[in-house]
Chains A and B, each alone.
Chain A
């Protein structure tokens, strides 16, 4: 019924709808990411099946140009280098891997034929076309106790001449610390690995561990160099450089940059909310004795003074910014994207941990985080709603049913978060 339709305040309401849509989009995006993470986590908690080699599909777009599916292509040097790196990484990974699912390999080895696997240049010269399954299994069995490198050999045996990229059959069985059942008693079905039962047996590949520890070591070194004394000469030369830049430039130095201005406006916004909270707290307090009453009065006066100062500062900033807009600088003002958290004033590069002790605690923590974000958003939307809807309601003069319906809807949106409605009764004189 068009009765509830709002008069067309094009200038005003599109902003409200845009804000709501933004909020919806942000929520949807977050949901999408969460679901992706959920997929991964769920998969991890199920039995770990050996990954299937997807049949090589025609890859769309630029990949087809680069992959050169013809069997006789020679890999470019860059490709070879990458593949060597890959092989090395996999070699290291396989060091700690004692495959549990031998039979799984049997299946996978046969599917190697269909998959196109590229390895180092040496293997390209010796294509092993026929029955790749037998030799790899044999070598694997033979070298099993030695924790050998069946993997690359498996690859070299199993590859085709096609040097295009292709899926590699994932070896079933993650890096296990303890040797598993003898390969001779290979069951038909692979023994599925579940995190629950054997999770504590996992071990990260050596190369990875080395890289990770070196990584944290380097970051720690970074933090220590920040505070060393030998920095003084450098710091002073940097300061001098900056000063010289300022002095030789044509722009007066007393100005605040746009970034600083925005930061300060943000602080003033925060100040406003905190001051308001304090004021409300004070106003709802019932003083019991004259001392409290006096303190309340002083507090309110103090708050008033601070608010005055804030307003004054805001006006100063406004004036500055307007003046800054003149000059040869381009008009385009890049919007201040929400700054990534640089770690505050004193960034610490060291790893930061958050320790929790139970799933319950983690859930509480996460739920609270979401709740805080949601409240933030609700407050923002409430302010936008107030700015846009209140003027509408006050302007409506005639009291027909449509306007009342509008009032009712607006009341619900503004005061009850759109969840509850009030009732309006016509007080008919009883004639």
Chain B
């Protein structure tokens, strides 16, 4: 009896693993078949290309890196290695794999499992490409416009730069911002109207009205000619409808990350029958996208139910690998390529400047204080204690402001939110209130204005110092606002 039970359990287990892997594969974009996984365990070479492709797809989606979309397989493999390394992938075996996709499927399988173990990968990928039916507005600072990476300086062949060219560029930028603001206001007015006019139409009571995407769906369900998704690999998704998000703000928003779809723009927007583009099967697209997302969601849920058996299996895979020889540690004298040093420049420079200023300020104040203090009674030490504690707490709170996931990190709302118009004065349902967001934005605005003002003041002082060195001139500053 026991033996039969065990055999049944084994049979069960034997079936559970392929099903788990199948669920996993359905939940990922470009998921390979369970057969590939099985072959990878035995390090069969034919499984390698599919796994390289999968890793590339997954990693480029995670990093929202559109630029790498159309690379050759070798370049993709190199990119995958670099991306994994940047995440801290520990195994050296991956680095040693040939990039032509001829071998290494077991190592790639381990890399995939590593990614899966660290974070809820299928969910995260789905969330990024989520079908957004509403009019979305971001409420956090992530992916902000002016994220100053190190832009690869496009070294224009021209030599000397005329400062008037700089002035012209700055003026142009100001003008563009003004235009942007004006367009933005108009768009909000239109949105307000559309939301108001379609009150009561939505099945979902908490929403109450239709969004632009939904209204457009009703206005023109058939759209026009269908655009083939032939450019993308596979027909799993009709990707040409960049319907994901209607930017109220004109961005920044998470991009519809489908490398290989041949989409040029970074953010997604509602594309509908505009003369310069082929019209799309709007309704079909939206419905199909919803349905395929539902299918993937179901696959993820199934994967979560079954994944334990996968991890047990991965243990055996890892066990089958010989342990790697540990990398000899290089002596610290070898400085290697300090390529990254460039990224540190601004931060280090600013911190050092700050430190110098603080040093000067503290020195002055200390001296003044030392001159002041004298002959204070016992109530002085108590007050001193209290002051120290208060300041300590204040500074600790300050630290939280930038600490890892700090006090604000969790509580703060993130990501695009769907705009919902409610009646003024009503309690409203669950959701973020615009008034709160406005408040937070105002304080942030004040903060930024202050920072900018300080920077400009710094410049003013420095220039005044330089001007002071030049005799015989009168500098008349422009009237302050």
Query: Are B476 and A258 within 8 A (Cβ)?
Result: no
Known A-B contacts A329-B95, A334-B82, A425-B474; the reply to A37 vs B447 at CB < 8 A is no
Known A-B contacts A4-B163, A355-B433; the reply to A369 vs B156 at CB < 8 A is no
**Which residues on the B side are within 8 Å of A414 (C-beta)?**
456, 459-460, 463
**Which residues on the B side are within 8 Å of A415 (C-beta)?**
456-457, 459-460, 463
Stretch binding the partner chain, chosen from B11-19, B35-43, B45-53, B412-420: B412-420
Query: Are B143 and A38 within 8 A (Cβ)?
Result: no
Does any Cβ of A come within 8 Å of B7's Cβ? no
Does any Cβ of A come within 8 Å of B10's Cβ? no
Query: Are A418 and B170 within 8 A (Cβ)?
Result: yes
Query: Are A241 and B451 within 8 A (Cβ)?
Result: no
In whole Å, how far is A205's beta carbon from the nearest beta carbon of chain B?
7
Query: Are B92 and A328 within 8 A (Cβ)?
Result: yes
Query: Are A23 and B86 within 8 A (Cβ)?
Result: no
Known A-B contacts A27-B180, A170-B220, A257-B86; the reply to A252 vs B269 at CB < 8 A is no
In the complex the two chains form, what is the Cα distance from A306 to B417 in whole Å? 36
Count chain A CB atoms within 10 A of each CB in B181, B418, B434 and give the residue with the most: B434
Query: Are B64 and A379 within 8 A (Cβ)?
Result: no
In the complex the two chains form, what is the Cα distance from A249 to B405 in whole Å? 29
Contact of B230 among A26, A66, A299, A302 (CB under 8 A): A66
Contact of A339 among B64, B430, B455, B476 (CB under 8 A): B64
Does any Cβ of B come within 8 Å of A214's Cβ? yes
Query: Are A219 and B340 within 8 A (Cβ)?
Result: no
Query: Are B410 and A346 within 8 A (Cβ)?
Result: yes
In the complex the two chains form, what is the Cα distance from A368 to B439 in whole Å? 10
Stretch binding the partner chain, chosen from A127-135, A136-144, A183-191, A272-280: A272-280
Does any Cβ of B come within 8 Å of A147's Cβ? no
In the complex the two chains form, what is the Cα distance from A34 to B191 in whole Å? 12
Does any Cβ of B come within 8 Å of A288's Cβ? no
Contact of A237 among B190, B308, B369, B473 (CB under 8 A): B308
In whole Å, how far is B421's beta carbon from the nearest beta carbon of chain A?
6
Query: Are B160 and A6 within 8 A (Cβ)?
Result: yes
Query: Are B472 and A44 within 8 A (Cβ)?
Result: no
In the complex the two chains form, what is the Cα distance from A393 to B116 in whole Å? 54
Query: Are B235 and A78 within 8 A (Cβ)?
Result: yes
In whole Å, how far is A22's beta carbon from the nearest beta carbon of chain B?
5
Does any Cβ of B come within 8 Å of A375's Cβ? yes
In the complex the two chains form, what is the Cα distance from A343 to B8 in whole Å? 43
Report B345-379 CB contacts with A as 1/0, cut-off 8 Å.
01110111011011101100110110011000000
Does any Cβ of A come within 8 Å of B236's Cβ? no
**Which residues on the A side are within 8 Å of B2 (C-beta)?**
none
**Which residues on the A side are within 8 Å of B24 (C-beta)?**
none
Contact of A27 among B133, B177, B419 (CB under 8 A): B177
In whole Å, how far is B171's beta carbon from the nearest beta carbon of chain A?
6
Known A-B contacts A215-B297, A341-B143, A409-B163; the reply to A202 vs B78 at CB < 8 A is no
In the complex the two chains form, what is the Cα distance from A300 to B361 in whole Å? 8
Query: Are B434 and A341 within 8 A (Cβ)?
Result: no
Count chain B CB atoms within 10 A of each CB in A19, A274, A328, A369 and give the residue with the most: A369
Known A-B contacts A18-B154, A238-B117, A342-B127; the reply to A365 vs B441 at CB < 8 A is yes
Task: State the interface size on chain A (CB cutoff 8 A).
Answer: 235
In the complex the two chains form, what is the Cα distance from A253 to B91 in whole Å? 10
In whole Å, how far is B357's beta carbon from the nearest beta carbon of chain A?
7
Query: Are B452 and A379 within 8 A (Cβ)?
Result: yes
**Which residues on the A side are within 8 Å of B425 (C-beta)?**
357
**Which residues on the B side are within 8 Å of A272 (C-beta)?**
347, 350-351, 354
Query: Are A356 and B459 within 8 A (Cβ)?
Result: no
Query: Are B419 and A299 within 8 A (Cβ)?
Result: no
In whole Å, how far is A124's beta carbon from the nearest beta carbon of chain B?
17
A371's nearest neighbour on chain B, judged by CB, is B445
Known A-B contacts A16-B166, A342-B124; the reply to A383 vs B387 at CB < 8 A is no
In the complex the two chains form, what is the Cα distance from A344 to B138 in whole Å? 13
In the complex the two chains form, what is the Cα distance from A31 to B324 in whole Å? 53
Does any Cβ of B come within 8 Å of A73's Cβ? no
In whole Å, how far is A287's beta carbon from the nearest beta carbon of chain B?
10
Known A-B contacts A166-B225, A241-B117, A355-B422; the reply to A370 vs B181 at CB < 8 A is yes
Query: Are B391 and A299 within 8 A (Cβ)?
Result: yes
Report A401-431 CB contacts with B as 1/0, cut-off 8 Å.
0001011011111111111111111111000
In whole Å, how far is A37's beta carbon from the nearest beta carbon of chain B?
6
Query: Are B90 and A249 within 8 A (Cβ)?
Result: yes
In whole Å, how far is A151's beta carbon from the nearest beta carbon of chain B?
10
Does any Cβ of B come within 8 Å of A72's Cβ? no
Contact of A336 among B149, B212, B341 (CB under 8 A): B149
Does any Cβ of B come within 8 Å of A213's Cβ? yes
Does any Cβ of A come within 8 Å of B100's Cβ? no
In the complex the two chains form, what is the Cα distance from A21 to B361 in whole Å? 38
In the complex the two chains form, what is the Cα distance from A294 to B149 in whole Å? 40
Query: Are A344 and B410 within 8 A (Cβ)?
Result: yes
Known A-B contacts A34-B180, A200-B200, A427-B474; the reply to A369 vs B137 at CB < 8 A is yes
**Which residues on the A side are within 8 Å of B399 (C-beta)?**
271, 306
**Which residues on the B side are within 8 Å of A423 (C-beta)?**
475-476, 478
Query: Are B272 and A409 within 8 A (Cβ)?
Result: no
Count chain B CB atoms within 10 A of each CB in A29, A319, A341 and give the residue with the most: A341
A50's nearest neighbour on chain B, judged by CB, is B220
**Which residues on the B side are within 8 Å of A418 (C-beta)?**
167, 170-171, 174
B257's nearest neighbour on chain A, judged by CB, is A340
Query: Are B123 and A349 within 8 A (Cβ)?
Result: yes
Which chain B residues (457-480) contact chain A, with CB distance < 8 Å? 457-460, 462-463, 466-467, 470, 472-479
Contact of B63 among A33, A251, A337, A351 (CB under 8 A): A337
Known A-B contacts A215-B294, A265-B344; the reply to A393 vs B338 at CB < 8 A is no
Does any Cβ of B come within 8 Å of A121's Cβ? no
**Which residues on the B side are within 8 Å of A39 (C-beta)?**
274
In the complex the two chains form, what is the Cα distance from A352 to B479 in whole Å? 47
**Which residues on the A side are within 8 Å of B429 (C-beta)?**
353, 355
Query: Are A275 and B361 within 8 A (Cβ)?
Result: no
Does any Cβ of B come within 8 Å of A54's Cβ? yes
Known A-B contacts A8-B160, A362-B188, A382-B452; the reply to A296 vs B308 at CB < 8 A is no
Report A227-246 CB contacts with B as 1/0, cut-off 8 Å.
00001011001111110111
Contact of A245 among B318, B434, B457, B458 (CB under 8 A): B318
Contact of B283 among A205, A216, A245 (CB under 8 A): A205
In whole Å, how far is B310's beta carbon from the nearest beta carbon of chain A?
9
Query: Are B358 and A303 within 8 A (Cβ)?
Result: yes
Known A-B contacts A41-B187, A41-B190, A330-B78; the reply to A412 vs B476 at CB < 8 A is no
Query: Are A5 and B82 within 8 A (Cβ)?
Result: no
B304's nearest neighbour on chain A, judged by CB, is A225
In whole Å, how far is A294's beta carbon from the nearest beta carbon of chain B?
6
Count chain B CB atoms within 10 A of each CB in A250, A301, A355 and give the residue with the most: A355
Does any Cβ of B come within 8 Å of A297's Cβ? yes
Does any Cβ of A come within 8 Å of B70's Cβ? no
| A and B contact pairs by CB, cutoff 8 A, 18 listed | A8-B161, A31-B176, A45-B194, A59-B278, A174-B218, A209-B203, A251-B92, A255-B88, A300-B358, A310-B351, A340-B143, A353-B430, A355-B422, A362-B421, A363-B188, A366-B249, A368-B442, A415-B456
- 9 smallest CB-CB distances across A and B, nearest first, come from A257-B88, A353-B431, A359-B192, A199-B197, A377-B146, A341-B142, A354-B417, A30-B250, A249-B90
